[in-house]
Amino acid sequence: MKETFTNSAEHGVVSQLDYFDHDITNDANIGNYSVVYPDDFVYNPRISTIAPCGPINRNKLGRNGVMSPLYTVFSVDDMISKLYLEHYFKTNRWHQFMFLEGNSGARSDRFSISDSIFFEMPIQCPVLEEQELIASFFDRLDSLITLHQRKYDGCTLSPTFLERCTLCRKTSPRNRCSATTTPSG
């Protein structure tokens, strides 16, 4: 049996074993599942507040798996940067097409769009070199945001930081913090 994957809006493509703490498939019920190869993209039609059309994520697990037929699995050729496309699908630029061509279907938690219409989605792609530069920029930006988030999260555990936050809440003009005050000073 192959490992079963799922596509989470928050965590991307993950193993069902990791996400659900158990595998919900077996050899008898995966006959019509799709094989997901490394770097394949997966569209999950389940909608949420962070994914109003459902998420599209790339398999970055580095291994093959299988995906329920509820998901749409696709790959792109070498004329499109996978990293560029990954960043593109983190935006809402493709949502308008989805809202025009699909609907929320019979179930209010699922977006409904046929595969043939889904694959007609227009995606603006500059030349490959520019795609790679754009993707690299957003990768560095994501890393910087993550670094600052970790730094902030670490500061919130500091008693000094918590004391400063308490001082900032006081209404006295003498203790009021400026809008530019940061945890480091």
Report the chain's mean pLDDT, rounded to a whole number.
84
Residue pLDDT, tens place only, 84-99: 999 999 999 999 999 9
- Neighbouring CB atoms inside 10 A of 67's CB total 26
The stretch 107-125 carries a mean pLDDT of 91
Q: Give the H/E segment covering residue 12.
A: strand 12-15
Per-residue pLDDT for 50 more than 70? yes
Where is pLDDT greater, at 25 or 52?
52
Q: 30, 8, 33, 35: which is closest to 19 by C-alpha?
A: 8
pLDDT at position 178 over 90: no
CB neighbours of 112 closer than 8 A, spacing ≥ 6? 45, 102, 103, 104, 105, 106
Residue % of the chain over a pLDDT of 90: 60
| pLDDT at 150 > cutoff 50 | yes
Which contacts of 96-100 are long-range, i.e. CB under 8 A and separated by 24 or more positions?
Answer: 97/121, 97/122, 98/53, 99/53
Give the helix/strand (H/E) hosting 97: helix 95-101
- Helix/strand/coil for 167: helix
Please state which of the ranges 84-88, 104-108, 171-175 shows the lowest mean pLDDT. 171-175
Distance CA 24, CA 155 (A): 40
pLDDT value for 22: 63
The pTM of this model reads: 0.76
pLDDT in tens, 57-90: 999 999 999 999 999 999 999 999 999 999 999 9
